[in-house]
Structure 1
Amino acid sequence: METKSKIAFFGSSVVSAYWNGAATYYRGIVKALSQLGHEVTFYEPDIYDRQKHRDIADPDYCKVVIYESTEAEIERLLAEASLADVIIKASGVGAFDDLLEAGVAKLKADNNLVIFWDVDAPATLDRINSDPFDPFNELIPKYDYILTYGGGQPVIDAYESKLAQKCIPVYNAFDAETHHPVPAEEQYQCDLAFLGNRLPDREARVEEFFLNAAEILPDKKFILGGSGWGDKALPGNANYVGHVYTNQHNAFNTSPLAVLNISRDSMAKYGFSPATRVFEAAGAGACIITDYWEGVDFFFEPGKEILIANNGEEVAEILRELTPERALEIGKAAYSRAMSHHTYNNRAGLLDSIFDKSLSSAEKIYL
């Protein structure tokens, strides 16, 4: 296949999901772009022990460059990336983010695209709105595009108020080759399971929607997965299973009666920010209970394809009434919707049109 464009992508990690919730998002996007003929080099720093907890070997859909986090090395990699047609800096790389954001913006030329891809737009916007001297404020207009993995119109409006040339949400999705229905596994069988790393703006909501529901229903079994919860006090009917590697996500999603999605505070506030795991769970045919956030009905039909709760008491009430037959029916409906509307191939088609149209226009101007 002829290469459509060469893409340099600076992100947290494509090979490790350890303390890196964006991993499967990156994998799905990059894999789908590769299948469309784009050649991607993914640059990721060797930090936070991620390389010691890799989920996958270097994939065949991109070249992976793991680098030491020094200013000299980053400057060298920026020079290398300057030869690409599309140069992307994702939010939350984890080391020297300011240097990378300024460096990628400076690589703008007549015949390329420079993009800031915000995988945590609500948090970024809250940060820069609270600090007018944050250096990223001045960089926003220098990027051809601000891409986000959620946020809807509120995030678009917020970025455009910061003089972004164009802000486009590229929502989370799932890779059907990676996330799909599998037989249940005993270790994950329970009434409700939640998977998410322990983060400051998520913990209170986990306490309300998950732990409170567990306390209300002492006769039900709950499972908590993700990094950082080891010293968290849990009810006796809640079991902590630690970090769940990507190759176990399907079993984690298909084995419980239902799985719970809990948004972080900032994402719930802006709305239209479904977590990657919502689509992964739907792709596995799970019955999903989600906390309420504006825009949920844009992705799944409430009551038919997903169940909504406003607090832990409502989660408990749903579980009291949920039968295995009803859970299976909802899971099948969610799976059907996800397969038709929410695969990474759907998302990559949007990106492909953006890159093709923008690069063709730039080439004409350049010539």
Structure 2
Amino acid sequence: MTKPLDIVFLGLSLSSSWGNGHATTFRGLLRALNKLGHRVTFLERDVPWYARHRDLRDPDFCDLRYYETVGELRRNHERDLRLADVVVIGSFVPEGKAIIDDLASLCTGQFCFYDIDTPVTLARVAEDSCDYLARRQIPYFDVYFSFTGGPTLERLKLEFGARRAEPLYCSVDPERHHRIGSKIEWDLGYLGTYSTDRQPMLEALLVEPARRLPQRKFVVAGSQYPSEIAWPSNVERIEHLPPADHAAFYSKQRYTLNLTRTSMIAAGWSPSVRLFEAAACRTPIISDRWPGLENFFPASAIRTAASAEDVTEILLGQSDRARLNMARQACSLVLGGHTGDARAREFTSVLAQPRVRPLLAVDVESAA
């Protein structure tokens, strides 16, 4: 698209990265859209847990506004929503189903969904237990942007009726994520909020190697870990690490660990933003294994592990030269195709294509 667009996003959070990965993703995309000359507004539900942990109160790349109820959203922002060229609602927006129903008839521009949790969303939609999206609403959207690519995109169209399903992966901001000349403090680190389905792999791929290598140093950064977890003495804990500190954190690690939620492993093609951040900082990555990983990082740019034995072998056996060559290749791949600027261009390129009208019952009968 050549003309500047008025784009309104409704997302889980832009102002706070506490306990969620959405804020970082939105910040990179919106910052890049602003650089391209588009006018961006972000509407966020004002909730106390994010209000207490805001690390971006006054962004210079968009207009950030808050609302407290669905009714207030309509009353205070109706004109902007109705006249916007594009309205995008994200996954996990509180009372998302009610908002989608309200906006589907209000918006005159393109109406899109941005799913930062696609495997989780589709599992809940299939079970009719999703409180931010209903199956009947998926065909409402001109484009269903998905954090997950691969076969899931066809499933969105064939099984759930999406008019268009396009990948829009997470991204990294090279100005904020780059190598900082920090001295190595930890042999292996992990950054991520506590998750019950990731915890077994964290135990296997970091905690157990720490027990086996008491002379080495490890670190786990992230919020909401239960107090009863028994961390080995050589595992340092950092309760919350704001995005501004991520680059320094990665730069102090000899290796960093990437772990993927169970549902995203099953779906494949679901790279984490932490994966791209670490690569941009030229920190060598050890990742769990999932379908599609090689589409983002070939074997020469990343090491994978399925057990404590795999991790200890990497920590003890790989030379510094091989480790750093691997990290340089991963960094080059990320800066070449997984930045916020790249995502913004992908996003606007999709929007520039002709709109696909919804499939009506009469069309189904005619096809039969």
Provide TM-score, normalisation by structure 2: 0.90
Instruction: Tell me which residue corresponds to 1:234.
Output: 231
Q: 1:17 matched to which residue of 2? A: 17
Aligned counterparts of 2:129 and 2:57: Cα–Cα separation in 1: 41
Q: In 1, distance between residues paired with 2:71 and 2:183?
A: 48
Structure 1 equivalent of residue 99 of structure 2: 100
Distance 1:295 1:136 in 2: 28
Give 2:75's aligned residue: 76
Alignment-derived partner of residue 91 in structure 1: 91
Equivalent residue, structure 1, for 2:316? 320
1:294 corresponds to 2:282: no
In 1, Cα distance between equivalents of 2:121 and 2:36: 30
Q: Identify the match of residue 135 of structure 2 among 111, 121, 137.
A: 137
Does 77-86 or 6-15 show the bigger shift?
77-86
- Verify the 8 A CA contact 1:170 1:347 in the aligned structure 2: yes
Query: Which of 8-17 and 274-283 deviates more?
Result: 8-17
Q: Point out where structure 1 has 5 or more consecutive residues left out of the alignment.
A: 363-367
8 Å CA contact 1:101, 1:136 repeated in 2:
no
Amino acid at match of 1:284: C
One-letter code aligned to 1:159: L
Partner residue of 1:344 out of 304, 329, 340: 340
1:1-367 to structure 2, matched below 5 A, reads 4-68=4-68, 70-77=69-76, 79-80=78-79, 81-93=81-93, 95-109=94-108, 112-131=109-128, 136-149=134-147, 151-160=148-157, 161-184=159-182, 189-229=185-225, 231=227, 232-302=229-299, 304-358=300-354
Does the 8 Å CA contact 1:205/1:265 hold for their aligned counterparts?
A: no
Partner SS state of residue 56, structure 1? coil
CA contact (8 A) 2:150 2:292 kept: no
Amino acid aligned to 1:98:
K
Deviation of residue 227 (structure 1)? 0.6
- Two-structure CA RMSD over aligned residues (Å): 2.1
- Match of 2:111, as an amino acid? V
2 CA distance for matches of 1:305 and 1:57? 36
Aligned residue identity for 1:183: G
Q: TM-score, normalised by structure 1?
A: 0.90
* Cα distance in 1 between the residues matched to 2:280 and 2:152: 26
Partner Cα separation in structure 1 for residue 188 and residue 99 of structure 2: 41
Displacement after TM superposition at 1:15 (Å): 2.3
Conserved? CA contact 2:209–2:308, under 8 Å: yes
The answer as to whether partners of 1:125 and 1:158 remain within 8 angstroms in 2 is no
Structure 1: distance between partners of 2:209 and 2:96: 38
Q: Which moved more, 1:202-211 or 1:248-257?
A: 202-211
The sequence identity of aligned pairs, in percent, is 34
2:361: which partner in 1?
A: none
Q: 134-143 vs 37-46, which deviates more?
A: 134-143
CA distance in 2 between partners of 1:223 and 1:147 (Å):
34
Q: What whole-Å deviation, never above 9, does each CA across 1:107-162 have from its counterpart, x for those lacking one? A: 343xx10001100001001111223898610000111110012x222211221121
CA contact (8 A) 2:22 2:116 kept: yes
Amino acid at match of 1:260: L
8 A contact 1:107–1:114 mirrored in 2: no
- How far apart are the structure 1 equivalents of 2:257 and 2:107? 42
Q: In structure 2, how many angstroms separate the alpha carbons of the residues matched to 1:204 and 1:74?
A: 40
CA offset at residue 195 of structure 1?
0.3
